Structure 1
Amino acid sequence: MSSAGELKVEGNRLVLSGNWTLPHYADLRSRISAVHIDTSSVFDKTNLEEIDQLDTAGASLLVELFGVRGIKQLISTDAAMSRERRDMINIVIQSLDNDATPESQAGFDVRVSLARMGRRIVHAVNQLMLLIGFGGQLIEICLAIFWQPRRWRVTSFVAHLHQTGLNALPIVALLSFLVGAVVAFLGATVLEDFGATIYTVNLVAFSFLREFGVMLAAILVAGRTASAYTAQIGSMKANEEVDAIRTLGLSPMELLVVPRVMAMVVALPILALTGMVSGIVGGSLVCIVSLDIALPQILHILQERIGVIHFYVGISKAPVFAFVIAMIGCLEGFKTRGSAQSVGEHTTSAVVQSIFMVILLDSIAAIFFMEMGW
């Protein structure tokens, strides 16, 4: 019968012996809890040679006893330790490092913070490269099937267009109407001090034609549709339906991604136009009711003082936003690992990434159009 593991202090030396294995885990755990020593002062006089058998359960107890730093130094200075045992302990350290590090490190460590920041930057760069590669593959497939109408998924395209565009029209129109009214109220409050309340109409028209109309529509679509794309494809991957599509010799990109992306590219400009019109109507209503600006005067300002270039600037951004939002939603769906938790995490990630990319691209576009004088 195998002997249980032993843990005792002999002078200035910590003695570990016996079998540190799963059957003795509970007993060893209680012994570790009962021994109150400063392992940092004795581990340099300790070795693991007297331990007969060691498995991952026993290795996790060693990590708990010495801490991540201590066990790393211990196995690095123990020349007699076998390579197999050292590799096993290193694997256990890696798996427990996230939990052990906060306990073993006291205070603020600049190196740890910089390492954490570096890992996040590397992760963000990898995500960007993956997104660019996915976009290139998507464009390649779209160009390949463009000249082959028999490969067009018209039914799927119409279904997603209905879901993405028609079903989103009421909420986009309502939200844009309310935001237009708020912008008119705020503009009138500021411009009243200068006796220029008439320019509230210009403010609302400029803001919705260039920015708010397409931005509100894109953000709503990012939260409403990108999450739906991720959840749909993620659930299909969890149910192994994506693997079944590949087994049948079909392309998941062509079958699942292209119709969704094309539907988004067609729907978002329509939603952006709806948002522009609704926002201007909401602002005009405030001007009529609160500022006593007549409707014919509002129409005259819109016709004579608001150039059509502002509409072109705003609507030109819609297809780009749509392509990026749909691409992120589909990519996050393919990245799920088959569990409900993974589907939820990637759905959240899709919404956050989509909104971030929309705001980033809009900022770049605003700088570009300003420098071009448009």
Structure 2
Amino acid sequence: MRLGGRWTADQAPAVEAAAARIVAGGPARLVIDLGDIERLDTLGAWVLERTRAEVEAAGGSLAYLRARPEHRTLLGEVVIRGEPPAPPKRLGFALGFLDGLGRQVARGGQEFATGVAFLGEVVAACGRVALRPRSFRGTAVVNQVQQMALNGAPIIILISFLVGGIVAQQGIFQLQRFGAQTFVVNLIGLLILRELGVLLTAIMVAGRSGSAITAEIGSMRMREEVDALRVMGLDATEILIVPRILALMISLPMLTLIGDLAALAGGGLTAMVYGGLTVDQFLARLQAAVGVHHVTVGLIKAPFMALTIGLIATIEGFAVEGSAESLGRRVTASVVKSIFMVIVLDGLFAVFFAAIDF
């Protein structure tokens, strides 16, 4: 068959009549020549695709011949799809629980594989930057360090100071029963320098900087700025990800050290108020209880936690779709996953350092 004329909305009656004549022939192997069509709009394309679906449903086939590129694109956009699949049958409580658990495990495995692949992309991007030092965006790294470390230091100092004071207070109340309240200095020093300082700082950074990274990249995805970078021949990984991850790996150790000092100050002040210790006694006891390796343990963990936070934040940012709901969901997932992985990583390091007696 050869079609001609205007297959547009203003010619709807004629278009419908022509489509009816095509279907009236019954199931057959049809080839429709679209080369003489003057103009085709959405209505005409939809009628043609509806006709094709009706012919195929009756057992025939229909193919297009000499379709212009713009007409073929429009026909592809209005393609008639089959009936949506029926919703799955509801499972019982036990089977539903097992099904949900299996899906979560499978999703976790997929996310782990995605994270490893993304880590490889970041390492490769860092290698390219190392081979081409001129492409290194030092200004962006400095700006991110300012946003993460300098602007985030006040809240880290405040939270760490308060937590150090709370831990010291509860420790004094418990140790007073045995007349060993002076050992609260050992408790504060070891707990804060080895575990609590870096863990608390990493959680705060995940909630503050990690969510900001996800929101920034997600907003760029929504405005198609990431696609624009790729169209211009620029590497989005080198421009958007590498500076932020490097800034996190620089900022988190600094914030950890600042948080440790603030927590020790809060714990020392509380020990002086509730435990009756003097400044000299507190410092002497602290120097005897902790060593440089205790500080090193906390600082060793910080870059790995920063890398984990940065990878999760950027992965979730690039997964944002074109809606505000998707952005909010990904930001929430970024914070939750980062905090969870930071705690898991801290536990693994604790087991490792205990095994090597460090």
Shorter-chain TM-score: what band? 0.7 to 0.9
Q: Contact 2:185–2:282 (CA<8 Å) still a contact in 1?
A: yes
Q: Work out which of the residue numbers 82, 91, 94 in structure 2 matches 1:88.
A: 82
Deviation of 1:82 after TM superposition, in Å, equals 8.0
TM-score by length of 1: 0.73
Query: What's the counterpart of residue 122 of structure 1?
Result: 106
Query: What's the counterpart of residue 202 of structure 1?
Result: 186
- Which secondary structure does the structure 2 equivalent of 1:337 belong to? coil
Is 1:320 the counterpart of 2:314? The answer is no
1:295-332 CA-partner distances (Å, limit 9, x unpaired):
11111112223121111111100000001101111111
Change (3 A) 1:83 1:370: farther
Deviation of 1:147 after TM superposition, in Å, equals 3.5
Is 1:361 the counterpart of 2:339? The answer is no
Superposed, which structure 2 residues align to 1:305-344 within 5 Å? Answer: 305-344=289-328
Is 1:147 the counterpart of 2:131? The answer is yes
Deviation of 1:112 after TM superposition, in Å, equals 2.9
Deviation of 1:123 after TM superposition, in Å, equals 0.5
Change (3 A) 1:300 1:243: same
Q: Contact 2:172–2:274 (CA<8 Å) still a contact in 1?
A: no
- Give the letter aligned to residue 176 of structure 2: E
Can you give the 5+ residue segments of structure 1 that lack an aligned partner in the other structure?
A: 1-54, 56-80
In structure 2, C-alpha distance between the alignment counterparts of 1:219 and 1:335, rounded to whole Å: 22
In structure 1, C-alpha distance between the alignment counterparts of 2:213 and 2:188, rounded to whole Å: 33
Is 1:251 the counterpart of 2:235? The answer is yes
- Which secondary structure does the structure 1 equivalent of 2:276 belong to? coil
In structure 1, C-alpha distance between the alignment counterparts of 2:59 and 2:116, rounded to whole Å: 45
- Which secondary structure does the structure 2 equivalent of 1:249 belong to? coil
Deviation of 1:144 after TM superposition, in Å, equals 2.2
In structure 1, C-alpha distance between the alignment counterparts of 2:187 and 2:241, rounded to whole Å: 39
Is 1:165 the counterpart of 2:149? The answer is yes
1:220-262 CA-partner distances (Å, limit 9, x unpaired):
0100111111111011011010000001100000000000001
**Which consecutive aligned stretches of 4+ in structure 1 deviate over 3 angstroms post-superposition?**
81-84
Question: Across the two proteins, how many residue pairs are aligned to each other?
Answer: 284
Is 1:134 the counterpart of 2:118? The answer is yes
- Give the letter aligned to residue 349 of structure 2: A
Change (3 A) 1:296 1:239: same
Q: Contact 2:160–2:197 (CA<8 Å) still a contact in 1?
A: yes
Query: What's the counterpart of residue 283 of structure 1?
Result: 267
Task: Work out the percentage of aligned pairs sharing the same amino acid.
Answer: 40
Q: Work out which of the residue numbers 178, 192, 197 in structure 1 matches 2:176.
A: 192
Can you give the 5+ residue segments of structure 2 that lack an aligned partner in the other structure?
A: 1-49, 51-57, 62-80
Is 1:237 the counterpart of 2:221? The answer is yes
> Pairwise CA RMSD of aligned residues?
2.0
1:241-285 CA-partner distances (Å, limit 9, x unpaired):
000000110000000000000110000000000110000000000
Query: What's the counterpart of residue 175 of structure 1?
Result: 159
- Give the letter aligned to residue 254 of structure 1: E
In structure 1, C-alpha distance between the alignment counterparts of 2:111 and 2:334, rounded to whole Å: 12
